[in-house]
Amino acid sequence: MLHGQVRYNMPSRFLEELPSESLKWLTPKAKDARWGGASWQKGRSANTNSVDELWWGGNESDVPVRNDGASNAIVTSSLQLEQNKRRGHSFQVGQEVFHTKFGEGRVTALEGEGVDAKAQVNFKRHGAKWLQLSIAKLVVVET
């Protein structure tokens, strides 16, 4: 953690030498069951013309990503989408999410609107927690 934010380093190149059964990845699930999904890249920033920067992105990397093989997309009605727009967020009960500190979890309850909106998320490793949606950086996990 640096300046109150969780930071991740580049994965070690030696992780490829370990058997995949002995590894446990704490990153969100990805769609493809292959090595890849994103990588550290060097290039020019959009803000500046002279400074080379390192950023995370792209389609190839040495980071293993996991796929359960099933697509459990949540189908929403136009009424639910309209309610979410009014509330100021796009989360739904039953949705899989990822938090940088607590890992993967499932939204079990939503309350409030706008900056006061909260979600109760049942995390696999940390149990149920109420999170302020304006503060918590939850990412929807596509399964």
- From 46, 68, 90, give the residue that closes a domain: 68
The verdict on 110 and 135 lying in the same domain is yes
Residue 18: predicted pLDDT: 85
Count how many domains the chain has.
2
The verdict on 57 and 10 lying in the same domain is yes
Domain at 85, CATH number: 2.30.30
**Over the range 88-127, which residues count as b (16 or more CB within 10 Å of their CB) and which as e?**
ebebbeebbbbbbebebbbbeebeeeeeebbbbbebeeee
- From 14, 37, 68, give the residue that closes a domain: 68
Query: What residue ranges of the chain have pLDDT lower than 50?
Result: 29-45, 47-77
Residue 44: predicted pLDDT: 46
Question: Domain range spanning residue 57?
Answer: 1-68
The verdict on 60 and 20 lying in the same domain is yes
Residue 115: predicted pLDDT: 80
Is residue 73 situated within a structural domain?
A: no
The verdict on 55 and 96 lying in the same domain is no
Residue 31: predicted pLDDT: 47
